Structure 1
Amino acid sequence: MSFNIGLSGIRAAASDLNITGNNIANAGTVGFKLSRAEFSDVYAASVLGSGSNAQGSGVLMGDVSQMFTQGNINFTENSLDLAVNGNGFFVTSNNGALSYTRAGYFGTDRQGNIVNNFGERLQGFGVNGVTGQINQGIQTDLRVDTRSADPQQSTVIDSTLNLNSTNVRPAIWQQAYDGAYAGSIAGAVDPAAPTAAEVAAAQTAGLNAGRATFDPTNSATYNSSTSVNIYDSLGNPHVMTKYFVKNDANRWDMFVLVDGRDVQTGTLASDPAFDPTSTTRFDLQFNEAGDLTTPQPYTLSGWAPLDSTGQPTGAASPVNNLAINLRGTTQYASSFAVTSVVQDGFTTGELAGLEIDDTGLLVARYTNGQTRTQGQVVLATFANAQGLTPQGKTSWTQSFASGEPVVGAPTSGTLGTIQSGALESSNVDLSEQLINLIVAQRNYQANAKTIQTEDAVTQTIINLR
């Protein structure tokens, strides 16, 4: 009997050495989870029991438990290297056969699919092609779309600025106004006592004369200006410039040119045929507190996008209902300043990079400054993770003991977060494993000694005469 007991001890110690050696061998394996040998004693028993003074019959391997504790997160320079911080496994597919892993070595294949280093495709939620929203619950192969981003025509320009209330009318404007006003009054029935209607007509004549002096190429004809890039339907950039001219207390004119051209006629400001009286103009009225009271937004219509030679770009033309919103603009006694400017158009863009946030959203960055969500990485958890079946390649498959996978977006429920540009190290503690190695070696030697002693006793009995 002692031979069998010693033999069972040797087998158990050998298994312990194998498991510990495997842990040590994979101490540097990304996503590896260590295993632990669990032993139980053995007693001879019958249907009626083993008795109160039963002697043990050795040891057997009870189980090999997998320890799914968190490994250290190490950062890399690859945005598609992924680590799970918390609960959950990445889901990968090999022609429909699903496996689960914590090893986040991912890249792309020639078709743009996100794959691990064994060619298995990373699973996630796709994107609705119409709404751009994540299709929650619909699991698919994640893929990086390398196509160029479509351009978007500008439809709204939001600007917030301050016009200097201490500014006065430009001198050339004032001269033209005074001349026209005086001439109009001189034509009154009684120039010394013009009627209210005649004064109003003279003021209108003066305003028109002052506005006729506007010249975008001469900064002396306006008080301030600011520009912003806008885009046509083909993504061609154009420069919209707004010129501000003070014409009275709390009142301003805003002239608008695109690419230095009259919006309505397409005439360049430097062309002798340029007519400031036909240039698109908007009135700005402020109250005594310096707030803009003119209803917003203004609407620019009739713009025909032209290239640098004055030819149509081929984009949608004319562009109507282009909103210019100056809500929040003020007129205070401080220098002219643009505090914010936002417009919603952009040109086409090439893929510049990928980012994956802690919720698993796969976001593509483009050279035009835009971003687009291309999918979302999913994670899976199990009621009994220790019941998963190891498949090698640092992956596991579902088993009856593990239960069904619960798949969802990272950070939802009990699922952990995704760390992009990082990998999870093995959770093996080398110091602990080396000590286990020594203990297993001692156990092996001790059980071998049991067999050696039993052999000596048996030999003594055989030698009896």
Structure 2
Amino acid sequence: MSFNIGLSGIRAASSDLDITGNNIANAGTVGFKGSRAEFSDVYAASVLGSGSNAQGSGVLLGNVAQQFTQGNINFTENSLDLAINGNGFFVTSNDGALSYTRAGYFGTDRDGFISNNFGERLQGFGVNPVTGQINQGVQTDLRVDTRSADPRATSVVDSTLNLNSTNVRPAIWQQAYDTEIAAGGTPADALAAARDTFDPTNSATYNSSTSVNIFDSLGNAHTLTKYFVKTDGNQWDMFTMIDGRQVTNDPATNNALPTDAAFAPTPTELTFNSVGELTTPQPLGSIQNWVPLDSAGRETGAESPASFDIDLAGSTQFAASFAVTAVVQDGFTTGDLAGLEIDDAGLLVARYTNGQTRTQGQVVLANFANQQGLTPLGKTAWAQSSASGEPVVGAPGTGTQGSIQSGALEQSNVDLSEQLINLIISQRNYQANAKTIQTADAVTQTIINLR
């Protein structure tokens, strides 16, 4: 009996050494979870059960329990390195066979799929190609779309600005107006004559101007410039030019240069009230007949004629310098993929060189009712088992799922100092159990030597 007890103790101590050694060996393994040996005592029992004075029969290894505690988060230079802060596992697929891991070193394969070092593809929710929204609940292989972002033509230009109320009419404007009145013209004739003096190449013919880039349907950039001419106390004319050419609703005079005979820009009238508020209804209306041209005056091939709205809502006329406080236009040129980001909710966001972003998917996490019931597969991965229960899959930060940290990796949760102490304890246990066998051998030898 003593030999068996000592032998069971040696086996248990040897298992403890193996488990401790494995923890130490994986102290630098990303996403590794340390294990501990859980032992149980053994008692011999008859059919009727063991008596109250039963002697122990040794020890057995009851369980090797992994410790799913949080590891330290170390930051890296790779945006596709992912760390989980809290509960959950990344879900990976190897030709449909799912496994679960905390090791978040991911990259893209030759087909653009996000995968780990072993070629297993990261799982997540895809994006509806029509709406651009996340398809919640539809799990798929996450893939990075490296195609260029399509351009979008400008459909509205919103500007908020202040026109200086202390400005006076340009001298050239006033001279033309006065000349027409002196010649017996009506105020309407005089106003038309004054407006004809506008020349975008001569800053003396207007009070203020501001420009913004707009885009045609092919993503070509064009410069929209608005010129403001004060005509009365609370009245202003706004002339609109694109790439230095006039924009009118008459195709015959559209796109004329200031040097062309057809150049006859038509202004939009702006009216402010006595407290400096713009009272002209907004938006001002659509630019209807714009034909996008290149620098040589040839059509770009974009959608033509193009149209967009101009909106000056919120603009003012105060006794302050001319200033543009906000400008927004919704068009953009084509853009190449410049980078990827994954936020703490797992959203995979692509950044493009045109300043736009696009959501390409969402990483999912899986959690289990009994993490100890997971089956270790190696490669820092686990598989579902009957003991673990079904995986609860969801977006990071929802339910019991943790959050994701991009550009970081979760380190092993092994405490080396603790493991080194365990080595000493295991060694002592091994030696003590060996001593039990040695003592039992000595006693047995004494009996054998009886004559």
Structure-1-length-normalised TM-score: 0.95
1:36-56 deviations in Å (ceiling 9; x for gaps):
100010001112121111110
1:424-453 deviations in Å (ceiling 9; x for gaps):
000000000000111000000000000000
Residue 175 of structure 2 aligns with which residue? 175
Query: 1:267–1:274: 8 Å Cα contact kept in structure 2?
Result: no
1:19 matched to 2:19: yes
SS at match of 1:302: strand
Structure 2 counterpart of 1:375, one-letter code: G
Q: RMSD of the TM alignment (CA)?
A: 0.9
Q: Distance in 2 between matches of 1:76 and 1:280?
A: 58
The size of the alignment, in residue pairs, is: 446
1:280 positional shift:
3.8
1:266 positional shift:
4.5
1:311 matched to 2:295: no
SS at match of 2:31: coil
Task: Compare 262-271 and 443-452 and name the one that shifted more.
Answer: 262-271
Residue 368 of structure 1 aligns with which residue? 354
> Percent identity at matched positions?
78
1:270 positional shift:
4.4
1:462 matched to 2:445: no
Q: Distance in 2 between matches of 1:267 and 1:449?
A: 103
Residue 438 of structure 2 aligns with which residue? 452
1:229-268 deviations in Å (ceiling 9; x for gaps):
0000000000000000000011000000000001233445
Structure 2 counterpart of 1:422, from 396, 408, 426: 408
Residue 259 of structure 2 aligns with which residue? 271
Query: 1:262–1:274: 8 Å Cα contact kept in structure 2?
Result: no
1:256 matched to 2:243: no
Structure 2 counterpart of 1:231, from 215, 221, 226: 215
SS at match of 2:158: strand
Structure 2 counterpart of 1:12, one-letter code: A
Residue 126 of structure 2 aligns with which residue? 126
- Change in 2 beyond 3 A, CA 1:280/1:405: farther
Residue 75 of structure 2 aligns with which residue? 75
For structure 1, list consecutive stretches of 5 or more residues without a partner in the other structure: 186-201
1:77 positional shift:
0.3
- Runs of 4+ off more than 4 Å: none
Residue 408 of structure 1 aligns with which residue? 394
Residue 140 of structure 2 aligns with which residue? 140
Query: 1:217–1:269: 8 Å Cα contact kept in structure 2?
Result: no
SS at match of 2:178: helix
Q: Distance in 2 between matches of 1:113 and 1:155?
A: 35
Structure 1 counterpart of 2:234, one-letter code: N
Q: Distance in 2 between matches of 1:423 and 1:272?
A: 65
Q: Distance in 2 between matches of 1:448 and 1:266?
A: 102
Structure 2 counterpart of 1:292, one-letter code: L
Query: 2:255–2:291: 8 Å Cα contact kept in structure 1?
Result: no
For structure 2, list consecutive stretches of 5 or more residues without a partner in the other structure: none
Residue 395 of structure 1 aligns with which residue? 381
Residue 195 of structure 1 aligns with which residue? none
1:269 positional shift:
3.7
Query: 1:257–1:280: 8 Å Cα contact kept in structure 2?
Result: no
SS at match of 2:289: coil
Q: Distance in 1 between matches of 2:209 and 2:282?
A: 19
